[in-house]
Structure 1
Amino acid sequence: MAALVAEAMPLVYNVVGKALHGSPDVDDVVQETMLRVVRGIVGLKDPDRFRAWVISIAYRQMQDRGRSIRVATALGPLVGDVSEWPDPAGDFVDSTMFRLHLSGERRETYEASRWLTAEEQRVLRLWWQESAGLLTRADLATRLGLTPAHAAVRVQRVKAQLALARTLLRAWHAIPRCAELAVAGGKLSGPSDPRWLKRLGRHVRRCEVCLAHERELIPAEHLIAGANLAPVLAGLAGSAGAAATAGGAAAPAWSLWDPLQRAVRYLMAKFLPVGGIVAIGTAGAVVYAVAYPPYQESGPGLAIPSVQASNRASPAAPTTGPGSTSAPTPAPAGGVNGVTTASYYVAPNGSDTNPGSVDLPFATLDRAASVVRPGQSIALRGGVYRPTRPVEITTSGTADRRIVLSNYRTEIPVIDASGIPADAAYVTQRASYWTVQGLEIQGAPGNAYVCRSCAHSVFRGLSFHDNGQTGLLLRDADTTGNLVVDSDFFRNHDNATNGEYADGLGIEYGSGTGNVVRGCRLYENADDGLGLHEFTGAVTIDRTWSFGNGVNRWEIAPFDGDGYGFKLGGGTQPAPVDHVVTGSAAWDNAGYGFTESGNTGTLTVRRNTAFRNGKTGFAFARSTSLLRQNLAVGNGRDTQFGAGVDAADNSWDQAGWSDAVLLTTDPASTLAPRTPGGGLPPTTFLTNNRDDGIGASMGP
């Protein structure tokens, strides 16, 4: 009984935590579910249905507590009675299988996995458990009988096969279906099995129509991101199991009721908030539960702090086109003249036992973030920092008492985050009313900086580069009123996932209004410059450059970076969102310059330039977008519009436009130092001598 409780509790936390969206009632529902499991175990006729039976109890408990509407929203339509679901252990780790039912994309992933071979499914199960934290890479390698290095190669191959299977599944269900795929599928008889993927996969890999579905896939590992997955409670199983053995191996289930009830309640009582995350402490085990939403204030709109920038970027050799493999010298963002005094100071030679004064500074940002309060500021002194643990920011400022994280005066703090664990962002901010400026973050194995449900925060004068995933990512619900300005996000690349998910800047997987990106450079990232994948609030993008993205500069094989300059949508069923893009430019990207990426909204796209992109300059096939005074020349294809697009007064609506009318096609000046105020460097690149009212002005 103790072993069963220990096995089931992480599963129940996954189910309840996801469905109730972080409600404080999660603990109560989990406790009641577990008590009913212990009471009712004697009535379970088929042991193979244990996990599905536990899930059904959890689901009914959520319904009984009056949350049926929220639960239905979170879980989506259920197929039949959950008590009749088969044991998922044959296909995925238990808790993950249920989560695959929580959204269409997860269910789709489960279905696509059936096209994998038995051995591929075995590797996938083990990798999924590793991603969930239930196995280490060493454990996975041991079970496969391989070295960790060979195991990593095997996992990458299986992930590639799963992505192909998911793409095939979408292409097969698309309306209308690709005609060639339909013909190829008609030649296969019998139920779908791995030979379908083997034969139809050849077609998918070379078909642009079918490959279009691949570009909207959420990474498989992201499907469990944020899940409240937990290791097995070995401590509980060990202690209770030993007690049962001491009392006699034949002790009936009901005889364990009282000690188990006390044990479960004891565990519930041990929940303590730690840095915005709720954790259980037991002997040798940790359970991560639900992170509560950050404290937020209502108040007036976002005010940009009055700070000036210094000119400290170094020129760099530009890329020469979408196929270039040149490696220009990084050009950091214009360094801001930071705060002259601060509440707390951090320096590379400081100590976290110090009081954090200018003479006795802290050593880590983590320490400073733990003590700062509304109206206070943190100053990072110049030099190189090499942190070994992630930073959690959970204290919010207010509209009139913002919290400032800044460089000190004209000093340049460079944070080498290569020592941070690969499964964590260097900084995770879950707070509002912050100003973050003048920082350089490089080398993080994952994201450099993630802001979750942040509101009214300013990010300016930043340089995030050469990180393992997206440089700056704003995500989740209530991402509202944030400003990203005068910053550079470049050369971020995810070697482990084939360059498929590392963007320069992302505002994704969430909702919120009033977010603005202005005066930024997004370049030479493995995937896209700017991504708005599955974000349901309108974002304004102004005077921003995105270039050289999606080029394999790191010899990643296979390489799957899309290379979109501005990805203005995306997802399984992209929401209609009315983003606004003005005065911006996309050039030398491997993929599209500007694309709605399935967004069916009414986007406003005015005074932008697309030049020399590998695919289409302006691709808007499904939306009802408005395009005015845009310039497109030298792209693989300048435009691709659907019937609902309203495009007029653009370069392609007039005769005589070509790259010959551009003052220069040499982009070297775009990587020059920023202006003293932090703005984009002045350049004549992509400006024209025919009509200065067409295209981006390219000025600061």
Structure 2
Amino acid sequence: MKSLLTLSLILLTYCLPAKNYFVAVNGSDTNQGSLEAPFASLQHVQELVTPGDSVFIRGGTYKITENQIMKFSSNGLWAYVFEMDKSGVSSSQKTYYGGYRSERPVFDLSAVRPKDKRVIVFHVSGSNLHFKNFEIIGTQVTITGHTQSECFRNEGGNYNTYEHLAMHDGMAIGFYLTKGSHNMILNCDAYNNYDPISDGGKGGNVDGFGGHPTTESSVGNIFKACRAWYNSDDGFDLINSKAAITIEDCWSFYNGYQPNTLLAAGDGSGFKSGGYGMSSTPRNPKVIPKHIVVNCLAYYNRNQGFYANHHLGGISWINNTGYQNPSNFNMLNRKSAKEIKDVPGYGHIIRNNVSYDPRASKHITHVDLEKCELSNNSFSPKETPLSDSDFVGLDASELALPRKEDGSLPKIDFLRPKEGSAIYSSEMGYTFKRNDKQF
């Protein structure tokens, strides 16, 4: 009888009509949460939200304080500022949290410095959630040893959408996934993030986007049309991922430097697309994930442009463009999980890519041509001589132009193949889309 009552209550919750709640900088948590009488805090509205509801956040800057932290992890290490553990109804009826219409709210975390805690601004364990159209700035690091903070962590949630978000001018990783399936990170930006506090201030733990699922079941996660620049470590990092991830239509530039300078910071790869490092005890997944990197652009990162990073198998690299990275394409693999030895890359599929003017090495390095599939690249199987005149434009400032009103990437001429060039007629590079997704 008790079980039937519990089931009835659950069904009743999911059948109730969805509600709209509003939050505003001039609101009050004693209000009704309507457009005319909004709440003041996301913490309060989260107590009321039920599956399928929408939370509209009015424009303005929300200066978050430490007493607003919603939860601390059981091990006492993490401070979860916003604990997003309530799921939506389904993948087609998600619970929504986002800026109201064209208004763009900003969460300022600069005053949140819990002693000896790592900060996660949005800790997401719920599923079928949609976050859209807001910014996070000023996320802090307080620990001087090896540590990291994060603006978003997806830890167990499935079928979540993160759309048109910006994580910038802080000390934290923009987005970090450790567990969960079929999550879409769409039209998001992570930039000007540098940690001067931990590990001697090198900034070596601050990536733009990190995909590091710890379970083989965390499949179907996609980074699409995202940008990462001036993050003090890597733009995109998939090290120790146990499940395959797709990175599509993304741009990564000026990573590995302190913001708005060319002062060296962390590793600085544009797309660190896999890998297990050279530890004596690397994670050894049952199936080596075959990540996909397609229609992406890497420009002037401090280290590699596209990097296999000691991976234990092949990665699909399709229609990408690398320009003025020390090495535009580095396919370095680890020999095996048991053998701590770097070997030329094996198992990679490398098609329709463009490499132009690498700063310090060949177009592609550390690749075993007999153990990889290479076709129709500007550098292999035969090299296509290129010059500035093969591109519509080379103005790198276009990369950081504002996004379109719908959050999509700006239309740019940078590294776009010019009609009549060999790379245009061969449909090489990041601007050419492929209908065949069998990589």
TM-score (structure 2 length as normaliser): 0.77
Partner of 2:176: 473
Partner of 1:282: none
Cα shift at 1:358: 1.7
The superposition leaves residues 14-34 of structure 1 with CA deviations (integer Å, 9 ceiling, x where unpaired) of xxxxxxxxxxxxxxxxxxxxx
Partner of 1:221: none
Contact 1:502 1:527 in 2 (8 A): yes
The superposition leaves residues 383-415 of structure 1 with CA deviations (integer Å, 9 ceiling, x where unpaired) of 110011311111111214310001111111011
Cα shift at 1:614: 2.6
Does residue 570 (structure 1) correspond to residue 275 (structure 2)? The answer is: yes
For residues 454-533 of structure 1, the aligned pairs below 5 Å read 454-476=157-179, 479-497=180-198, 498-511=202-215, 512-533=218-239
Contact 1:590 1:615 in 2 (8 A): no
CA distance in 2, matches of 1:505, 1:656: 32
Does residue 450 (structure 1) correspond to residue 142 (structure 2)? The answer is: no
Contact 2:22 2:34 in 1 (8 A): yes
Cα shift at 1:355: 2.7
The residue identity in structure 1 corresponding to 2:317 is V
Q: Secondary structure at the match of 2:231?
A: coil
Does residue 628 (structure 1) correspond to residue 351 (structure 2)? The answer is: yes
Contact 1:543 1:698 in 2 (8 A): no
Contact 2:61 2:106 in 1 (8 A): yes
Cα shift at 1:554: 7.8
CA distance in 1, matches of 2:19, 2:397: 38
Match of 1:640 among 365, 370, 381: 365
The residue identity in structure 2 corresponding to 1:552 is Q
Cα shift at 1:436: 0.3
Partner of 1:539: 245
The residue identity in structure 2 corresponding to 1:378 is V
Change over 3 Å in CA distance of 1:427–1:556 after alignment to 2: farther
Contact 1:686 1:698 in 2 (8 A): no
The superposition leaves residues 205-241 of structure 1 with CA deviations (integer Å, 9 ceiling, x where unpaired) of xxxxxxxxxxxxxxxxxxxxxxxxxxxxxxxxxxxxx
What fraction of aligned residue pairs are identical, expressed as a percent? 28
Contact 1:532 1:567 in 2 (8 A): yes
Q: Secondary structure at the match of 1:617?
A: strand
For residues 177-216 of structure 1, the aligned pairs below 5 Å read none
Does residue 382 (structure 1) correspond to residue 382 (structure 2)? The answer is: no
Gaps of 5+ in 1: 1-294, 296-340
User: RMSD between aligned alpha carbons?
Assistant: 2.2
Cα shift at 1:342: 5.9
Q: Which structure has the larger Rg over C-alpha atoms?
A: 1
Contact 2:328 2:355 in 1 (8 A): no
CA distance in 1, matches of 2:346, 2:33: 53
CA distance in 2, matches of 1:494, 1:606: 33
Does residue 664 (structure 1) correspond to residue 393 (structure 2)? The answer is: yes
CA distance in 1, matches of 2:236, 2:249: 13
The residue identity in structure 2 corresponding to 1:658 is L
Q: Secondary structure at the match of 1:593?
A: strand
The residue identity in structure 2 corresponding to 1:536 is K
The superposition leaves residues 405-427 of structure 1 with CA deviations (integer Å, 9 ceiling, x where unpaired) of 01111111011111223522122
Change over 3 Å in CA distance of 1:342–1:493 after alignment to 2: farther
Contact 1:598 1:623 in 2 (8 A): no
Match of 2:376 among 612, 624, 649: 649
Cα shift at 1:519: 0.9
Q: Secondary structure at the match of 1:461?
A: strand
The residue identity in structure 2 corresponding to 1:627 is I
CA distance in 2, matches of 1:623, 1:464: 35
Q: Secondary structure at the match of 2:119?
A: coil
The residue identity in structure 1 corresponding to 2:110 is S
Contact 2:194 2:259 in 1 (8 A): no
Q: Secondary structure at the match of 1:448?
A: strand
CA distance in 1, matches of 2:319, 2:167: 27
Partner of 1:683: 412
CA distance in 2, matches of 1:461, 1:629: 29
CA distance in 1, matches of 2:203, 2:29: 37
Contact 2:327 2:365 in 1 (8 A): no
CA distance in 2, matches of 1:564, 1:419: 31
CA distance in 2, matches of 1:455, 1:518: 17
Contact 2:169 2:191 in 1 (8 A): yes
Partner of 1:362: 39
Cα shift at 1:616: 4.3
Contact 1:495 1:556 in 2 (8 A): no
For residues 185-264 of structure 1, the aligned pairs below 5 Å read none
Q: Secondary structure at the match of 1:670?
A: helix
Count of residue pairs brought into register by the alignment: 357
Partner of 1:603: 315
The residue identity in structure 1 corresponding to 2:122 is V
Partner of 1:66: none
Contact 1:448 1:467 in 2 (8 A): no
The superposition leaves residues 589-639 of structure 1 with CA deviations (integer Å, 9 ceiling, x where unpaired) of 001111111222231111000100133434343441100010011112221
**Which structure is higher in helix share?**
1
The superposition leaves residues 221-273 of structure 1 with CA deviations (integer Å, 9 ceiling, x where unpaired) of xxxxxxxxxxxxxxxxxxxxxxxxxxxxxxxxxxxxxxxxxxxxxxxxxxxxx
The superposition leaves residues 180-217 of structure 1 with CA deviations (integer Å, 9 ceiling, x where unpaired) of xxxxxxxxxxxxxxxxxxxxxxxxxxxxxxxxxxxxxx
Contact 1:521 1:546 in 2 (8 A): yes
Partner of 1:226: none
CA distance in 2, matches of 1:451, 1:444: 17
CA distance in 1, matches of 2:85, 2:95: 11
Does residue 350 (structure 1) correspond to residue 27 (structure 2)? The answer is: yes
**Which structure is higher in strand share?**
2
Gaps of 5+ in 2: 1-9, 11-17, 70-80, 141-148, 333-343, 434-439
Q: Secondary structure at the match of 2:173?
A: coil
Change over 3 Å in CA distance of 1:490–1:513 after alignment to 2: same
CA distance in 1, matches of 2:318, 2:274: 17
Partner of 2:86: 395
CA distance in 2, matches of 1:382, 1:579: 37
Partner of 1:418: 110
Change over 3 Å in CA distance of 1:623–1:667 after alignment to 2: same
